[in-house]
Structure 1
């Protein structure tokens, strides 16, 4: 599992560690790791396929981030690279790093002289701003970043792309777009959450010894092994009820496909059976004859261990009543799509059983009475606010899917593809996640695992795809995560 920490937490850990090691140790560890990563990159992708004779340009700001960059570039220079440092704040340049760089034969230039050097470079290091940076790049630095981007030179960000907010993932103004980011000590939220994550490129962590001094994480991202440990597995005494029954209240005369998609996701999610309640029973049975169907209402449909309510439900009195009945139940409930509009907010907050809300940015904005663009640019703040205001587990869908629950680190989903932004994709996710709830996963784990598998299904599907294909990909991705279950 990847863990991420805010700037304040990282600095506290660094301060503690620095009292236990000789001065300059952390910077040298960071520089050594950065130089090794750059050497590897030059060996694989450089125009000269190696360090010797390569042209490296370092964009150097003030403070320790600039120092890391200078020490690392000095290491490359000693191995035969032609090294140039562009000093954006000459009077504030790290003195030790600059001295080491010059001893290694590196030369320094002003920003005005840098563009033609950047255009001919094999590698550009972004050491403009470190984790303490706020707001976008200043015009001079922005111009250099733009020159590297337009020249299509490989850019390596030192710790994080300059111009992004390290703790929130927000981007206010111009920022570096890196091909790779070499980060030190631990991951930062900006490397996992859009829009800043879009600037990060390939991500590599250099261990500088912070681990023992870091508290519980503020963000985390599941990996294959974490998901495999959470996947429901039938045992010898299992039957459909012990494995869990998920109820799906979805679809309408106008949107029967939403019911089919949600049921498809639910059938592939690990529960033992799926009950469908709603007016699209004929369409559901035609596609999935194993589904248990009921005309409703939900309270009379039979035993379930979890409910999914909302996809394609419409906006009539019948849908509103169905949402109210589901929320009044004493089992876990997932509310999606139309259900988010029809649900009584007080009923959500007062539930004692687990509740999962799965809005996209527009729906989140409506729930919070905020602007959609504000949600999209500050996803972390808004998902936390939703979880707090509704006393629920919230899965905020989007280019970065986040799962928030009060009292726990926010989870960042690392899988997915922009091809998932297609009609009905969220219906499959809802059914899949609801099935995991019925199978016994906690709300937070069900939402996290559902998002992970759904994102992988999007990656595995042949593009362009329709949402009806996603459910059929789930067994394949399930097996890729947990091969032993397919044996």
Structure 2
């Protein structure tokens, strides 16, 4: 599992480690890791480090020091290294001396010929985007030249991934000691490129953010045994679709049939459409281990949502089912409950603007989980899953922009609901469902249709269990 930690947590761990090390040793560890990644990129790009042209964009803090010490290492291997300071009077003294001793130089303007640019303008404490001096340097990065960010791209909020002003877009980010949430959550994640973690020896507590990997998903997926039958494997009920949106029911059932439950039961007005496509579906009310309610439900069916929530089965609420939810009703439930809003629906549930949710997705998903006492899957370019009382928010690392298509959310709801019926908790069902959904979309490519994602789910499942 990939874990991420807040700036406060990382800095506390750094202070503890620095107290046991010689002065400057931690920065030299970080710089050595940064230089190694840069050297590898230069070797792949040019065949060697010697003779390469490296430009360092240097801020006034330790981030700039990391860049300068790494530049010194590259200069000793024969690279031509030029440091361009954001503030010439505030460069890291030790790093600057090391660079000059290795043959590097300082310039006031960004050279327009370079093989690699190192972004050392702002560190993990930066907030609110680049200031004018830093933005001016970033704007002068030569087009097409690879950019390596030090710890995270300058201008990205390390704790949230927010980008509140000008920011660097990196091809590679070399982060030290631990992943930061802003490297895993959009829009920051989209600016980070490939992320390399350099271990500098930090001792860290429980993470604030985590991202499942194949092995984690494989360990959570419900697998049948020799004694399993369709009822022991779980039955998921789907309450979805309407005269206006029959396809939502079909797609939710499609996702549910491929989510590991032993049977899928459909209740709603689109039974003929569902049976025509999926004759395996059971039709009508009956005993289930989990319900999915909401996709394509339309208006005027709040009573059905209330009835489902009043039962003792696990429930996933999506789309139209999210309208007017009462936090007290959800908090009173003892069975697992999973809400799956997009940003607009999340805004309505919180009584805030959509823009505020999109600008602070990590805070929004935590607030939703706390307010409603349920697991919450917040859809978007980075899908987030939070659960009340659980410290870590899960970030889904799979997916593709092609998933922004009609009906893909219905497939996800059916899939996650089936995992609920198979015995997973709300948070596990949401995060595993999002992971498989994203893998299936990657396999499908694009442009894609929602039903193609459902069809690719068995292969995505096998990818995680038999990598």
TM-score by length of 1: 0.94
* Superposition deviation, residue 370 in structure 1: 1.3
* Superposition deviation, residue 462 in structure 1: 3.5
Q: Is the 8 A contact 2:236 2:256 kept in 1?
A: yes
Which of 62, 75, 80 lines up with 1:77 in the alignment? 75
Which of 313, 316, 320 lines up with 2:297 in the alignment? 313
Aligned: 1:439 with 2:399: no
* Superposition deviation, residue 343 in structure 1: 3.7
What's 1:198 paired with? 190
Aligned: 1:108 with 2:106: yes
Aligned: 1:176 with 2:164: no
> What SS class does the counterpart of residue 363 from structure 1 fall into?
helix
CA distance in 2, matches of 1:159, 1:307: 43
What's 1:281 paired with? 271
What's 1:167 paired with? 159
> What SS class does the counterpart of residue 220 from structure 1 fall into?
strand
Aligned: 1:25 with 2:25: yes
CA distance in 2, matches of 1:286, 1:483: 33
1:113-143 Cα distance to aligned partner (Å, 9 max, x none): 22xx1x2111000000111111111112112
1:178-209 Cα distance to aligned partner (Å, 9 max, x none): 11100000000110001111111110100000
CA distance in 2, matches of 1:100, 1:407: 48
> What SS class does the counterpart of residue 263 from structure 1 fall into?
helix
Q: Is the 8 A contact 2:86 2:137 kept in 1?
A: no
What's 2:9 paired with? 9
Aligned: 1:128 with 2:112: no
Aligned: 1:66 with 2:58: no
* Superposition deviation, residue 14 in structure 1: 0.4
Deviates more, 1:278-287 or 1:84-93: 84-93
1:255-284 Cα distance to aligned partner (Å, 9 max, x none): 110000000000000000001000000000
Aligned: 1:222 with 2:215: no
* Superposition deviation, residue 61 in structure 1: 0.6
What runs of 5+ residues in structure 2 fail to find an aligned partner?
none
Q: Is the 8 A contact 2:327 2:371 kept in 1?
A: no
* Superposition deviation, residue 344 in structure 1: 3.8
| Length, aligned pairs only | 466
1:137-182 Cα distance to aligned partner (Å, 9 max, x none): 111211221221x622111000011111111111111011111100
Aligned: 1:337 with 2:325: no
1:425-469 Cα distance to aligned partner (Å, 9 max, x none): 000000000000000111111111000000111111142111011
- Give runs of ≥4 in structure 1 deviating > 3 Å: 342-346
* Superposition deviation, residue 346 in structure 1: 3.2
Which of 363, 367, 373 lines up with 2:345 in the alignment? 363
TM-score by length of 2: 0.98
CA distance in 2, matches of 1:288, 1:80: 65
CA distance in 1, matches of 2:324, 2:187: 30
Q: Is the 8 A contact 1:324 1:344 kept in 2?
A: no
CA distance in 1, matches of 2:162, 2:445: 32
CA distance in 2, matches of 1:367, 1:68: 44
Q: Is the 8 A contact 1:315 1:342 kept in 2?
A: no
Which of 237, 248, 269 lines up with 2:238 in the alignment? 248
CA distance in 1, matches of 2:255, 2:382: 21
> What SS class does the counterpart of residue 323 from structure 2 fall into?
helix
Q: Is the 8 A contact 2:370 2:389 kept in 1?
A: no
Q: Is the 8 A contact 1:320 1:343 kept in 2?
A: no
What's 2:310 paired with? 328
CA distance in 2, matches of 1:462, 1:418: 10
> What SS class does the counterpart of residue 261 from structure 2 fall into?
coil
What's 1:137 paired with? 130
Q: Is the 8 A contact 2:327 2:373 kept in 1?
A: no
Aligned: 1:386 with 2:379: no
What's 1:297 paired with? none
CA distance in 2, matches of 1:241, 1:344: 32
CA distance in 2, matches of 1:376, 1:37: 33
> What SS class does the counterpart of residue 231 from structure 2 fall into?
helix
What runs of 5+ residues in structure 1 fail to find an aligned partner?
295-300
Which of 434, 455, 466 lines up with 2:438 in the alignment? 455
Deviates more, 1:13-22 or 1:242-251: 13-22
> What SS class does the counterpart of residue 73 from structure 1 fall into?
helix
What's 2:221 paired with? 231
> What SS class does the counterpart of residue 240 from structure 1 fall into?
coil
CA distance in 1, matches of 2:201, 2:24: 13
Which of 167, 176, 180 lines up with 1:188 in the alignment? 180
- State the Cα RMSD in Å: 1.1
* Superposition deviation, residue 342 in structure 1: 5.1
CA distance in 1, matches of 2:39, 2:315: 51
* Superposition deviation, residue 382 in structure 1: 0.5
